[in-house]
A and B are shown apart, each in its own frame.
Chain A
């Protein structure tokens, strides 16, 4: 991307009046969502099931194409981007179900996209991969296959795989909700580290500990709309909306 954000002060993610519906408009998943995320911010998105959190996240890199509205990443409007693949390399995505490539070893999982998208040679790609495996704390699993890893290890590989493209933005869609409790921490630690390093992150997660420690901002969604958008302190102290209160009551017991 040619334009650098520090100079221009424009938010790195801009969402304008996003609408998305399924079944020919019968099911509205996103209803006029607008949102700005400046560089370096960590935004946590919460909300009940079916409220459109995943849909919004997937619209951010156009895995889901919105019906109307605009997504502008680093100054480039995705709807008009003839270079969608190029923009996507700037946006790492981590899925609830990990989605590692089962036919490739851990190292190859991390190297594959570097080699064919970033066109790095084998040695370069391997160096990057090894360094990232170190960073996520499983340098000894380089030769293993995804099926041989625990869920927590798989998710950390998935994070490393996304980071290998050196993205400016990381999207997480419930990265810990398919994990056993004892593995959640190892993944959250990696994400926390990433947040401290200044990565711009949009995280769909109900891990309130993570929201409290790492988030600059918490966004509550319901019914395809953004209901509340505030700081974590504010949210936990005094949620403004009745629905937010109700929801927080459910997840915090």
Chain B
């Protein structure tokens, strides 16, 4: 990581140190950034654009706010012909409306959700950065304990990103399009406010960067990596909406299906793992035998084969049982009617497979708790169930949580295998899109980035939960 922990200085700030240039730089940067929003950002905007094609009819598009239309590419796709000319009609924006705040508030009323995300990324992130930077300085002054070190990584990342964001704001103004920019003859160039904001952000970033040795935290944590990956998706969608916006819209519901399958299965997996783990430490030979057999068999069969078995072979087995039991109409009818939809089959397959691995994790976790704990509880008159529930399991959870959390992350990835069961998950939607358009590179980059965001965010959540369940203090 960027931070060398050995250089962390563990002492309180002396009076003079609190007034040193590092804090001043950060605070001044934050103030400049904040105040810059009162100055004009853009004094001209594109109200509409008229595009003519050599063969096809012309296309005219209206832009209600900061542009959110990808005019050139959009027009090209609509017209499907050779671009002849683009003519933009500009509109003056005066007074309060031209300031950063003016643009921000106008943008927040944006017509669609995609636009709103764009405006938050471009106009709001710098303000969040300024607030964090100011908070960092203020808390360092107020508190006795020295620098507010917790805030350093987040504020550093956000303030560095805010320079990028302000750049995006300008790109928005010309719709990421050099055609439109050329048409406007420089009228869309940023005003004094935007330049001031960039300078403020740069000062603040420099200030916080100079404070980096005051924290023992990693400057680049996995949250920010997840954030950067999400930002990359956003950027792809904004800069090249064709095909990325289209891919995003196409696979979006697949993300929801994947999440639904993963979360449902995970609930069942925890249950199966607990029961399996308890079975593996049971003194009852039958229970021990069954759970050991389950664990050993299932771990030896690939998940894909298990899924295919459940999806293709199980219904046939039900049918066969139904036919074989025709002398008992009730049983026969029940088996005859039994159907698995693809969603149930997917959840079943993932649960059976991951439950076996989870059972081993639970077993190891429970046996890692010293025997004396169970004995102490039993000697107080607790039943073995009570002792397990109140004494052993709460301690075992701490041991179990990291590996079982990793299982969640692995489950997200392995859930892509259910796409063979006609479940419209993220992977399958990607395959469908590719079959339609043959855009293999773009499709799979998008799918991969979506999985990355899911896995990075969930690893981080697991880490957070881990830190919450630690009880040695």
Binds A, one of B42-50, B162-170, B376-384, B440-448: B376-384
Q: Given A99-B375, A103-B471, A145-B473, A113–B394 Cβ distance below 8 Å? A: no
B382 surroundings in chain A (CB, below 8 A): 85, 113, 116-117
In the docked arrangement, what's the CA distance between A91 and B372, Å? 16
B377 surroundings in chain A (CB, below 8 A): 101, 113
B84: interface (CB < 8 Å):
no
Q: Given A116-B390, A145-B473, A147-B472, A63–B375 Cβ distance below 8 Å? A: yes
CB under 8 Å from chain B, chain A span 120-154? 145, 147-148
Q: Would you call B380 and A101 a contact (CB within 8 A)?
A: no
Report the contact-size class of chain A (Cβ under 8 Å from the partner): 20 to 34
In the docked arrangement, what's the CA distance between A99 and B391, Å? 11
Q: Shortest beta-carbon distance, B307 to chain A, in Å?
A: 39
B80 surroundings in chain A (CB, below 8 A): none
| Complex interface bits, B77-104 against A, C-beta within 8 A gives 1, otherwise 0 | 0000000000000000000000000000
CB under 8 Å from chain B, chain A span 156-208? 158, 161-162, 165
CB under 8 Å from chain B, chain A span 206-244? none
| Complex interface bits, A36-68 against B, C-beta within 8 A gives 1, otherwise 0 | 000000000000000000000000010100000
In the docked arrangement, what's the CA distance between A227 and B380, Å? 31
In the docked arrangement, what's the CA distance between A31 and B395, Å? 37
In the docked arrangement, what's the CA distance between A116 and B386, Å? 8
Q: Shortest beta-carbon distance, B331 to chain A, in Å?
A: 39
Q: Which of B370, B375, B381, B382 has the most CB of A within 10 A?
A: B381
Q: Shortest beta-carbon distance, A99 to chain B, in Å?
A: 4
| Complex interface bits, A59-96 against B, C-beta within 8 A gives 1, otherwise 0 | 00101000000000000000000000110110111010
Q: Would you call A117 and B471 a contact (CB within 8 A)?
A: no
Q: Shortest beta-carbon distance, B395 to chain A, in Å?
A: 5
Contact partner of B379 (CB less than 8 A), chosen from A88, A97, A112, is A88
In the docked arrangement, what's the CA distance between A63 and B472, Å? 28
Q: Shortest beta-carbon distance, A34 to chain B, in Å?
A: 23
Q: Given A88-B380, A95-B375, A102–B471 Cβ distance below 8 Å? A: yes
Q: Would you call B381 and A88 a contact (CB within 8 A)?
A: yes
Q: Given A85-B383, A116-B386, A116-B390, A99–B378 Cβ distance below 8 Å? A: no
B367: interface (CB < 8 Å):
no
- List 18 A–B pairs whose Cβ atoms lie within 8 Å, in order of A's numbering: A63-B379, A85-B381, A88-B378, A88-B379, A88-B381, A92-B380, A93-B379, A99-B372, A100-B376, A101-B391, A103-B395, A103-B398, A112-B380, A113-B382, A117-B380, A147-B473, A161-B380, A162-B380
Q: Shortest beta-carbon distance, A13 to chain B, in Å?
A: 15
Q: Given A63-B378, A88-B380, A103–B372 Cβ distance below 8 Å? A: no
B325: interface (CB < 8 Å):
no
B372 surroundings in chain A (CB, below 8 A): 95, 97, 99
Interfacial residues, chain B to chain A (CB-CB below 8 A): 370, 372-373, 375-383, 386, 390-391, 394-395, 398, 471-473
Closest 9 CB pairs of A and B: A89-B381, A113-B380, A99-B376, A99-B372, A93-B379, A88-B381, A117-B381, A103-B471, A85-B381
Q: Given A102-B471, A102-B472, A145-B471, A91–B379 Cβ distance below 8 Å? A: yes
Q: Would you call B376 and A101 a contact (CB within 8 A)?
A: yes
A85 surroundings in chain B (CB, below 8 A): 381-383
Q: Shortest beta-carbon distance, A45 to chain B, in Å?
A: 17
In the docked arrangement, what's the CA distance between A207 and B248, Å? 76
A103 surroundings in chain B (CB, below 8 A): 394-395, 398, 471
A86 surroundings in chain B (CB, below 8 A): 381
Q: Would you call A95 and B376 a contact (CB within 8 A)?
A: yes
In the docked arrangement, what's the CA distance between A162 and B381, Å? 10
A145 surroundings in chain B (CB, below 8 A): 471-473
In the docked arrangement, what's the CA distance between A44 and B105, Å? 83
B471 surroundings in chain A (CB, below 8 A): 102-103, 145
Instruction: Name the CB-closest residue of A to B396.
Output: A103
Q: Shortest beta-carbon distance, A80 to chain B, in Å?
A: 18
In the docked arrangement, what's the CA distance between A147 and B370, Å? 15
Given A88-B379, A102-B472, A117-B382, 5 additional A-B pairs, CB 8 A: A89-B380, A99-B373, A101-B377, A112-B380, A113-B380
Instruction: Name the CB-closest residue of B to A90.
Output: B381
A101 surroundings in chain B (CB, below 8 A): 373, 376-377, 391, 395
In the docked arrangement, what's the CA distance between A116 and B384, Å? 12
Instruction: Name the CB-closest residue of A to B470.
Output: A103
Q: Shortest beta-carbon distance, A71 to chain B, in Å?
A: 14
In the docked arrangement, what's the CA distance between A81 and B237, Å? 72
Instruction: Name the CB-closest residue of A to B381.
Output: A89
Q: Shortest beta-carbon distance, B399 to chain A, in Å?
A: 12
B381 surroundings in chain A (CB, below 8 A): 85-86, 88-89, 113, 117, 165
In the docked arrangement, what's the CA distance between A102 and B370, Å? 11
B379 surroundings in chain A (CB, below 8 A): 61, 63, 88, 91-93, 162
In the docked arrangement, what's the CA distance between A63 and B382, Å? 12
